[in-house]
Chains A and B, each alone.
Chain A
Amino acid sequence: MSETITIDGKEIPFKAGQTIIEAATAAGVYIPHLCHKPGYKPHGSCKLCTVNVNGRRCSACTFPAATGQAILNKTQELEDNRRKITQMLFVEGNHFCPSCEKTGNCQLQGVAYYLAMKDNHFPHFFANRELDASHPDLLIDHNRCIFCNLCVRASQEKDGKNVFAISGRGINKRLIINSKTGLLKDSDIEVNDCAVQVCPTGAILEKRKGYSTPIGQRIYDTQQIDQVSLTQETVYE
């Protein structure tokens, strides 16, 4: 008999070494997340996947599953606060979905839809962020970066490079590029790198591809992110 945890009362098996989110995903239970991606080293920074484990709040993407855990996931309180955390990400950067090339394919937007976010709730920061369009095939719009660290990890773990890093402190955090000039064109990034494809928002974009799929026919235009996530991310069997 394998060991189990319960999530919202449902019994779920787990294997030794699995995190809560891994066990949940394998069992078809969606826990909202942005900085987590299966197959990548857990990061635990966005805090969307916060669940309640035996009365204590933990990040499901970093906390190991263990026997006896009674986990709360889809409660009103957690969903309300996840929505507020998502709203924090929206006001921190400059996210204008209607004019963004990534609209419909953006996970930040997908999570916002899922959590029924209707407005930004908090005052906007109107951060002064830059655009790096120096690369012939790629573009970075820092306005849309949510510091999920996925491109940093993708470049290191998957591409065997080290193109990105998160620098700065506090609200002045910024994504930096590993090149003498600090510009993307002088780095060794390539279009097909995982670091390009992994961006959950429209911060890293491939040029001349923005509208190849019409708006209205894109991923989250037609499906909820929980369904997309569970079909794409169930890779643990």
Chain B
Amino acid sequence: MKEFIQKQFEKNHLQSVKLLSILREIQAEFHFISKDAIEILANLLKIERTQIISVVEFYHFLSLEFRGKYEIFLSDSITDHMLDKQSLANYFAKKLGVKLGQLRGDGLVSLDNTACTGMCDQGPAGLINGYAITQLSKPRIDEIVSLIEQQVPVEDWSKEIFKVADNICKTDLLLTEEISQGSALQNTFKQGLTETLAEINLSGLRGRGGAGFNTAMKWQFCSQEKETARYVVCNADEGEPGTFKDRVLLNQYAHQVFEGMTLCAAIIGAKAGFLYLRAEYLHLYSKLEAILANRRDNNLLGKNILKQGVDFDIEIRLGAGAYICGEESALIESLEGKAGIPRNRPPYPVVEGYLNKPTVVNNVETFLAAAKIALIGGQAFANLGTKQSTGTKILSISGDCEHRGIYEYPFGTTINTILNNCGAKDVLGIQIGGPSGTFISNQEFDRVIGFEDLATGGSFIIFNQQRNILDSVRNFTDFFVDESCGFCTPCRVGTSLLKKQLDKIVDGHGSAGDIVALEEICQLVKNYSHCGLGQTAANPILTTLQRYPEVYQKQLKAISYEPGFDLNASLAPARKLANRDDAGAYLAQVED
């Protein structure tokens, strides 16, 4: 093991900022991070062992305990559940002879849940030793179980098992055609860097991750910083359940994304950039590395790009399973090899980002759009969409419809149009922007996609009339409990309180005051949390409570007070101890 770690350490240039990369390698090789590995690594990197432990414990795909030669994770998104995930999970567990969340006795295989893996258009999905699997079915599970029992290495499994489809259903300005390699950069250098920034400003492009900050302004702020060591970071950590568009963009339009990053670097004066790729998209890693190599060969990356005196290169850093790392300052912490805990602001990343240097962090789609704008000009982009939301938005459509996949629409498109295009019928409502977004009912389908109405990072989950709203609210609330980083009190404790209170109501233990109590916790979590995760964690409850109060009311018992636990059931151990089974040993929940 020592040799292996030494090798990884050297491969990663002896840097503690590469801690996460090194830990990923150790996990992949040994299927856990042992105490010995921690000691060896602490000595090599000259960091404290506690720093390593805190990183391992923070990320979902790293573990202090052995996880077996085959580590299986099943995506637990609501979209997977809508495709019968639960019964397939039970089948999988039974076939393997292991309980969900456990390692099998012989140490060969473990089975666990994980948050949405970004395959909502082709679920139920999962990961095997980090690699994505889609469209799980009983025959597919039989095949996988047999390969595992025969201990066939994952590298030798049929490619069919790891097939991921792109499902591009509707294209517009950005997706119709990828720009030709280098064309946006050539145009940028031809018209000048200041002029290109002016074009991006004219385009009105706003961040596509969901928050919608003006892109040109962000780049300008960064370029004006005194500190000249600057960084460009592409946020490919799309963890919002229901979104998968960045996976498709990186599979088919990666050149254009990298081109967008490169022209950003030229404009802000950055020499180095990172693509922070979510761990769930490991299958894209080698392909993306090859594209970067190709761009270096073509003088589109590296020294003296297109002989214009610009030096810039891009490194891919993989995450290790943490939704919070999609938050830009948490992402930067993760890039530095730490747990992804959002920073205090100010300072903002454009002032103090990666290694406390000025850093631009933008979404994959933002860089894709920026490259297009550099080529076609700001006005052509601004002609699409609405005044406040220019251009197009790429949506990831999943749930109850005929054609799940990627759709590109000009901002301002109505929900009705979108539903018609994807073949959705008998719709109850839509979760727009994922759990952190909004649930809209079928009375609101004349509303439009846009920052001024329904802002979205791209997640679009359709529910038909047969679905129970409370199922999705519960799934989303559980998601936030699992993904809270735990830094601040309102989110760390509040998300668990939300879960407890919601479960109490849904399980039929709620009474008159319980909805008010639920709302009270919602407001606290929303208004007092440190970052966007906590501030939106109550949205699934708040947005459905507002639209369907009767659904919640119906769960309540018609008494003024209902205890949160089952009194009689709690007495079972006492009955057992006292060896009593007479009528007097049983109590009614509420006195008549």
B523-560 contacts to A (CB < 8 Å): 524, 527-530
* Cβ-defined contact, B564 with A168, below 8 A: no
Contacts of A47 in B (CB 8 A): 488-490, 528-530
Q: Is the CB of A178 within 8 A of B488?
A: no
Q: Is A85 on the interface with B (CB-CB < 8 A)?
A: yes
From B46-54, B238-246, B369-377, the one touching the partner chain is: B46-54
Neighbouring A residues of B564 by C-beta, 8 Å: 123
B497 interface contact, C-beta 8 A? yes
Beyond A85-B490, A88-B489, whether A167 also contacts B484 by CB under 8 A is: no
Residue B482 is within 8 A (CB to CB) of chain A in the complex: yes
Q: Which of B322, B483, B486 contacts A147 (CB 8 A)?
A: B486
> Would you call A81 an interface residue if the criterion is a C-beta within 8 Å of the partner chain's C-beta atoms?
yes
**Which of B346, B496, B529, B530 makes the CB contact (< 8 A) with A171?**
B496
- Mark the stretch among A38-46, A99-107, A193-201, A211-219 that contacts chain B: A38-46
CB of B511 within 8 Å of the partner chain? no
Among the interface residues A84, A169, A177, which one has the most CB atoms of the partner chain B within 10 A? Answer: A169
A169 to B495, CA, bound (A): 13
| B529, closest chain A residue (CB) | A47
Q: Are A81 and B528 in contact (CB under 8 A)?
A: yes
State in angstroms the CA–CA spacing of A34 and B261 once bound together.
Answer: 42
Known: A168-B57, A170-B482, A178-B50. A45 touches B493 (CB 8 A): no
Do residues A164 and B50 form an inter-chain contact, with CB atoms below 8 A? yes
Roughly how many angstroms separate A167 CA and B58 CA in the complex, as a whole number?
7
Interface 1/0 per residue, B24-39 and A, CB below 8 Å: 0000000000010001
Take A44-B344, A122-B497, A123-B500 as given contacts and tell me if A171 and B489 are in contact as well, using a CB distance cutoff of 8 Å: no
CA A170 to CA B344, docked complex, whole Å: 18
| Residue in A81, A92, A146, A176 whose CB lies within 8 Å of B527 | A81
Contact with B along A79-103 (1 / 0, CB 8 A): 0010011001101100000000000
Residue from A46, A172, A180 within 8 A of B488 (CB atoms): A46
In the assembled complex, the CB of A41 is this many whole angstroms from the nearest CB of chain B, namely: 10
Cα distance A92–B496 when bound, in Å?
9
The CA of A31 and the CA of B54, in the complex, are separated in Å by 31
- Residues of A35-85 at the interface with B, using a CB-CB cut-off of 8 Å, are 42, 44-48, 50, 57, 59, 62-64, 81, 84-85
**List of B residues within 8 angstroms of A166 by Cβ:** 54
B344 touches A168 (CB 8 A): no
Closest to A90 in B: B493
What residues of B have a CB within 8 angstroms of the CB of A170 in the complex? 481-486, 492, 495-496
B131 within 8 Å of A by Cβ? no
Q: How far is the CA of A81 from the CA of B524 in the complex (A)?
A: 7
Residues on B with beta carbons closer than 8 Å to the beta carbon of A81: 524, 527-528
Complex Cα gap A84–B528 (Å): 11
Interface string of B55-83 (1 = CB under 8 A from A): 00110000000000000000000000000
Q: Which residues of A contact B50 (CB under 8 A)?
A: 162, 164-165, 167, 176-178
Does A236 belong to the interface (CB within 8 Å)? no
Task: List, in ascending order, chain A residues with CB within 8 A of B520's CB.
Answer: 84
Alpha-carbon separation in the docked complex, A177 to B53 (Å): 10
A173 within 8 A of B: yes
A77's nearest neighbour on chain B, judged by CB, is B527
CB-based contact A169/B57 at 8 Å = yes
The residue in B39, B346, B486, B530 that gathers the most chain A C-beta atoms within 10 A of its C-beta is B486
Q: Please name all residues of chain A whose beta carbon is closer than 8 Å to the beta carbon of B49 when the two chains form the complex.
A: 178, 180
> Which A residues are in CB contact (< 8 Å) with B451?
none
Residue of B nearest to A88 (CB): B493
Other-chain contact of A46, B344, B486, B489 (Cβ < 8 Å): B489
Minimal Cβ-Cβ distance residue in A for B322 = A169
| A176 in contact with B483 given A42-B344, A64-B346, A91-B493 (CB within 8 Å) | no
**B495 neighbours in A (Cβ, 8 Å):** 170-171
Q: Does B494 contact A (CB under 8 A)?
A: yes
Q: Are B524 and A85 in contact (CB under 8 A)?
A: yes
Interface pair A88/B527, CB less than 8 Å apart: no
A123 CA to B344 CA, complexed, in Å: 30
Contact A173 B39 (CB under 8 A): no
* Smallest beta-carbon distance B271→chain A, Å: 30
3 tightest A-B CB contacts, nearest first: A165-B50, A88-B493, A167-B54
Extra contacts, 7 of them, besides A62-B344, A91-B497, A168-B486 (Cβ < 8 A), are: A47-B489, A165-B48, A167-B50, A169-B484, A170-B485, A170-B495, A177-B50
Q: What would be 19 A-B contacts, judged by CB atoms less than 8 Å apart?
A: A45-B489, A48-B489, A64-B346, A81-B524, A84-B524, A85-B528, A88-B497, A92-B493, A123-B564, A164-B50, A165-B53, A167-B54, A168-B54, A169-B58, A170-B483, A170-B495, A171-B495, A171-B496, A180-B39
